[in-house]
Amino acid sequence: MESKRQQKFAGVIQEDLAAIFQREGMNYLPNTLVTITKVRVTPDLAIARVFLSFFNNGNTAQSLATVKQHASEIRYKLGSRIKDQVRVVPQLEFFVDDTSEYVDRMEKIFDKIHREEEQKDSE
């Protein structure tokens, strides 16, 4: 369970990373909208795990690899934004947030179950 300090720090990182991707995301991934869905920070605030969602993109694995290639540059830009608020800028680890895909898959399963129940009731 995250402490209030971790949650607050994660919120700051999420907000600033969102601004960085909004302004300069086109340099890394043209024609792709990148959303920071969640940030988790370790208790010592040294590592930030950033969960990304990509829209208008066919290959999320390649997009994630591109973001990981630019991780040091993104960390530098984050550091210039939060340098007055923290002692150490955390290392950034990027992951794909597949929550929307999971929700779509679950909705399809529920629809299938619902249709099967309707067919049984009509018989």
In the chain, what are the domain boundaries?
A: 4-98
Three-state DSSP class for 37? strand
Q: What is the pTM of this model?
A: 0.79
CATH code 3.30.300.20 for 4-98: yes
Closest CA to 62 of 92, 39, 32, 37: 32
The side-by-side arrangement of strands in the sheet containing 47-55 is: 33-41, 47-55, 91-96
For every one of its 123 residues, what pLDDT tens digit does the chain have, with 9 covering 90 and above?
Answer: 789 999 999 999 999 999 999 988 888 888 888 889 999 999 999 999 999 988 877 788 888 999 999 999 999 999 999 988 888 899 999 999 877 777 778 888 888 888 888 777 776
- What does residue 49 show for φ and ψ, rounded to 5 degrees? -95, 115
- Which pLDDT score is estimated for 123? 67
How far apart, in whole angstroms, are the C-alpha atoms of residue 68 and residue 26?
15
- Tokens for 53, please give them: 């969602």
